[in-house]
Chain A
Amino acid sequence: MGWQRIKPRLDKDNRAFWTGGAEGKLYIHKCGDCGAFNHPPRELCRNCHSENVTPEAVAGTGVVETFTINYQQWTPDMELPLVIAHVVLDGVPGVKLTTNIVGCPVAAVSVGDRVQLTFEQDGEIWFPLFKKAV
């Protein structure tokens, strides 16, 4: 892919999410006290305010909840058209990821499609993307 995605600024809370792809893993913060998943990751659990939150590797499969097809050439190097989706992850209640569905024609994407994780690397950053599940 020629598109140079905007890279996030890493901090202690988001590092696991953005670099877990090096191990092929997607990390979402989980609270050790109440079990709630927290995303975007923060120091405190949103549900119970505990500081006992740690990144947990999740299954990496999920479902397309909604999506749009972007046609606007926002940056000169973006590859278009691009599917921007909200994916709900298996086993991670309450969390939605904004991501792209890749590896298929845009017309092949539907709400309710089962999808699985794939990564795109740019240096230290591993962008979590999704492709249609086989």
Chain B
Amino acid sequence: MRRGNRVTYFVGKAAIAGIGQTEFSKESGRSPLQLAAEASLAAIEDAGLTPADIDGMVLFTVEENEEGDLMKTLGIPGLSWATRVGLGGGGSAGSVFMAASAIAAGAAKNVLIVRAFNERSERRFGQATNKPISAYGWQGTGFNYLFWSLPFGVFTPAAMIGMANLPYMRKYGVTNEDFGHYVVTAREHAATNPDAWFYQRPITLEDHQNSKWIVEPAIRMFDCCQESDGGAAVVLTSTERARDLKQKPAVVKGGAWDQRPSGTMGLAAREHLVAERVYESAGMGPEDISVAMLYDAFTPEVFTQTEAYGFAGPGEAKDFYRGGGGKLGSAMPINTNGGLIGEAYIHGMNLITEAVRQIRGTAVNQVESVDNVLVSSSGSAHILGKA
């Protein structure tokens, strides 16, 4: 573990200049490539650029689309730099960090990040398939531990994340009812967000507690993010160039990505490491964050991220959410779009687009007086601020 090794070469040098997304649905009626192209074009146009201006691309793993297909579809003539970031959706926030790094290093001028799929109308991410193990085509993306747990009924991330967070729950006496307080808040935010699948459909704590168990005692149905069809994209450029483009720049002021094995506290150990490094790079602490996007694939990881980023003490996320923490109008609003549970699950990209809106002042659930926005996707994170 590196301490006191502040990595700052990229800080302030790059900004998100454009965001774009499709509608979020359960039946898009078009291919992942089409969705990716629509979201990408929207982001490129939002930035006031054209596809010919794009010379860099970052995708993150567990990705259906290919760089070459995207280039041909959009009319991007060539790329001087491209990479893929590991950890699947856990790498979404880190993709912004990587793009900012490339721009700071002069490796690319205008970098596209995009994610799109039909995870509800096509291969559903939250479902098991009763197929031979070779059909679980996640090898090479760090998921080969599946071979040791699939035969025992651990089929999807819901079961894995549930198991991984049990020691945390037991250590601090966290209950599934505690988790319900976050979910009610997320659905509250979604209820006023027209882009959200659960627009106008808030829930009560009782609704949450009545939703069926997936893996007891950790995860009920309402603790799970959605399966969504849709796409979202961002375009980054240098902060200097971004100032001359269409929108208010969302400047990358900190970033970190890490892949270390889950310890006895599940993902929490890695989250603490990433939090330390992202704050270190930015020269900031929790007190500098105005609003936070925390990856809510499943509620337990929201709790561990809340603590990792210092918005609550160890084991105290349950008190934070019970006490109204995370709500709009509170001291630390969380997932103002409704999160991955309330808005849609685009593997974290829709948390990034919302973070940018908060910086610009254009969010539907706009927080007053925003300085810096944290985006955490558990295994990686970045901080956005103003130019």
Determine if A8 and B216 form an interchain contact, defined as CB atoms under 8 angstroms apart. no
Contact of A71 among B134, B148, B150, B214 (CB under 8 A): B214
Determine if A84 and B216 form an interchain contact, defined as CB atoms under 8 angstroms apart. no
Please name the residue on chain B nearest to A67 by beta carbon.
B166
Determine if A127 and B213 form an interchain contact, defined as CB atoms under 8 angstroms apart. no
The answer to the question of A68 belonging to the interface, with a C-beta cut-off of 8 Å to chain B, is: yes
The answer to the question of A48 belonging to the interface, with a C-beta cut-off of 8 Å to chain B, is: no
> Which residues of B lie under 8 Å from residue A69 when comparing CB positions?
213, 215-217
Nearest CB of chain B from residue A134's CB, rounded to whole Å: 22
> Total interface residues on A, using CB and 8 Å?
30
B residues with CB within 8 A of A: 127-128, 130-134, 145, 147-156, 158-159, 162-163, 166-167, 170, 212-218
Please name the residue on chain B nearest to A66 by beta carbon.
B166
4 tightest Cβ-Cβ pairs between the two chains A and B:
A74-B128, A69-B216, A68-B215, A98-B149
- A 91-120 to B, binary, CB cutoff 8 A, 1 in contact else 0: 000000011100000000001000000000
Can you list 15 contacts pairing A with B, beta carbon distance less than 8 Å?
Answer: A5-B152, A6-B131, A8-B133, A68-B166, A70-B159, A72-B213, A74-B156, A75-B155, A78-B153, A82-B153, A84-B153, A98-B149, A98-B154, A98-B163, A127-B152
Within 8 A of B (CB), among A50-94: 66-72, 74-78, 81-82, 84, 86
With A and B bound together, what is the CA distance between A6 and B332 in angstroms?
44
Nearest CB of chain A from residue B83's CB, rounded to whole Å: 28
Most chain B CB atoms below 10 A, which of A72, A78, A86 = A72
Please name the residue on chain B nearest to A120 by beta carbon.
B151
With A and B bound together, what is the CA distance between A54 and B10 in angstroms?
47
> Which residues of B lie under 8 Å from residue A81 when comparing CB positions?
216
Are A7 and B212 also in contact (CB < 8 A) when A70-B159, A84-B159 are? no
Number of A-B contacts (CB under 8 A): 88
With A and B bound together, what is the CA distance between A8 and B144 in angstroms?
11
The answer to the question of A12 belonging to the interface, with a C-beta cut-off of 8 Å to chain B, is: no
> Which residues of B lie under 8 Å from residue A32 when comparing CB positions?
none
> Which residues of A lie under 8 Å from residue B128 when comparing CB positions?
74-75
> Which residues of B lie under 8 Å from residue A70 when comparing CB positions?
153, 159, 214-216
> Which residues of A lie under 8 Å from residue B212 when comparing CB positions?
71
Determine if B147 and A8 form an interchain contact, defined as CB atoms under 8 angstroms apart. yes
> Which residues of A lie under 8 Å from residue B155 when comparing CB positions?
74-75
With A and B bound together, what is the CA distance between A100 and B159 in angstroms?
13
With A and B bound together, what is the CA distance between A81 and B214 in angstroms?
10
Determine if B216 and A86 form an interchain contact, defined as CB atoms under 8 angstroms apart. no
Nearest CB of chain B from residue A17's CB, rounded to whole Å: 9
Are A9 and B133 also in contact (CB < 8 A) when A68-B215, A70-B159, A74-B155 are? yes
Determine if B216 and A76 form an interchain contact, defined as CB atoms under 8 angstroms apart. no
Determine if B148 and A98 form an interchain contact, defined as CB atoms under 8 angstroms apart. yes
Please name the residue on chain A nearest to B158 by beta carbon.
A72
With A and B bound together, what is the CA distance between A58 and B330 in angstroms?
55
> Which residues of A lie under 8 Å from residue B131 when comparing CB positions?
6
Determine if B148 and A40 form an interchain contact, defined as CB atoms under 8 angstroms apart. yes
Most chain B CB atoms below 10 A, which of A66, A67, A81 = A66
Are A86 and B215 also in contact (CB < 8 A) when A78-B153, A98-B152 are? no
Besides A8-B133, A40-B148, A71-B213, 14 more A-B contacts (Cβ < 8 Å) are A6-B131, A7-B132, A66-B170, A68-B218, A71-B216, A72-B213, A72-B214, A74-B127, A75-B155, A78-B153, A84-B153, A84-B163, A111-B170, A127-B152
